[in-house]
Amino acid sequence: MSANSFPFAVRLMGFKPQEIEIFDATFALDQGKGYGYIRLSEDNLQDPDLYIANAEELRALVALSDLRPSDVRPALLVGTPSVPLPYASVERPIRWHRLFEALDKLIEKRADALSRLEASDVVAVPERRRRDRVDIDLTDPADYQKMRTELPHGGAVLVIDKTPAFRDYIAELLLRHKTEVLWASSEAEAEGACARQRVAVVVVNTSVTDINPYRLCKTVKAIRPADKTSVMFLVSKASGYDIDLARLSRVDGFLTKPIAAPHFISALKKFMHLPR
């Protein structure tokens, strides 16, 4: 694989902001055997190719275990865990050439596993968890139960976009899953659609003119709060996603365009049950 290949997506878990910045800068140097790596931001809904977890952060290890790493989506620990875990690891302080060597080995092992799955027609299970598992010893049981609520069954997918080609693309994808697709090209149309019927997920193309996506998110979530409508943004680049505004508006995450069909379907499955 050449250094110009599309980078593998990494989900970092349990690292402090200063360490995350160092990971970003080091990934940008394009080290290793030419396999590029890029960190997925916290709100990025794309499934990662592998995880890197801080082995000295117990909460991160619990969350990692919940995600069930495998040869298809492997995990690398940084540091020495306080409990025995069946994942590859590198010592602290981080020696970056060793970390890249470990990542490259995991990627090659992943490629072998994917080849075997493809040959056997077995489908890999995508990442589903959107947040760390709650520590029941530190959280009120009612809050715990709220966060463990099952994904909603039923409901339409509302797409905010004006491009006919993109509409046709999404309609074809969701037709296979027997899921109703609604369309809107303005905030008023989106609000009306959410008021008339149950909408499980609102997909907002943030490039649509005359729409404030953050304001729209607040509005649609307030229309039928019992429906627990999720809102995901489609952005031209990650830098176009304002994390602070997103938190205030309760946006559930984003995908960057152009969007591959598997990434889009996998993101929807984080928020709703899609019929097969």
pLDDT tens-digit readout, 213-261 = 999 999 999 999 888 899 999 998 877 899 999 999 999 999 998 888 8
- pLDDT averaged over every residue in the chain: 84
Are 216 and 160 in contact, with CB atoms under 8 Å apart? yes
What is the band of 168 on the pLDDT scale with cuts at 50, 70, 90?
Answer: confident
Scanning the chain, the segments in alpha helix (DSSP H) are 17-27, 58-67, 96-120, 141-147, 164-175, 187-196, 213-223, 243-249, 261-269
Are 120 and 108 in contact, with CB atoms under 8 Å apart? no
Residue that wins the pLDDT comparison between 35 and 206 = 206
The Cα 265–Cα 76 span in angstroms is 26
Architecture of domain 8-120: 3-Layer(aba) Sandwich (3.40)
Which residues fall within 8 angstroms of residue 133, CB to CB, at 6 or more apart?
62, 63, 66
- Give, as one character, the DSSP assignment of residue 44: B
Backbone angles phi and psi of 60, in degrees to 5: -65, -35
Scanning 176-239, the segments in alpha helix (DSSP H) are 187-196, 213-223
pLDDT tens-digit readout, 133-154 = 444 444 444 543 444 445 555 7
Name the residue ranges covered by the structural domains of the chain: 8-120, 150-269
Q: Does the predicted model carry a pTM greater than 0.75?
A: no
The Cα 9–Cα 111 span in angstroms is 14
User: What's at 97, amino acid-wise?
Assistant: H
The Cα 274–Cα 265 span in angstroms is 9
In the CATH hierarchy, which fold is given to the domain comprising 150-269?
Rossmann fold (3.40.50)
Fold match between domain 8-120 and domain 150-269: yes
pLDDT tens-digit readout, 3-53 = 445 789 999 999 999 999 999 999 988 655 568 899 999 899 999 999 999
What the block records as the tokens of 139 is: 């959280």
pLDDT of residue 123 exceeding 60, the answer is no
Are 44 and 246 in contact, with CB atoms under 8 Å apart? no
Residue with tokens 């790493």: 69
What is the band of 197 on the pLDDT scale with cuts at 50, 70, 90?
Answer: very high
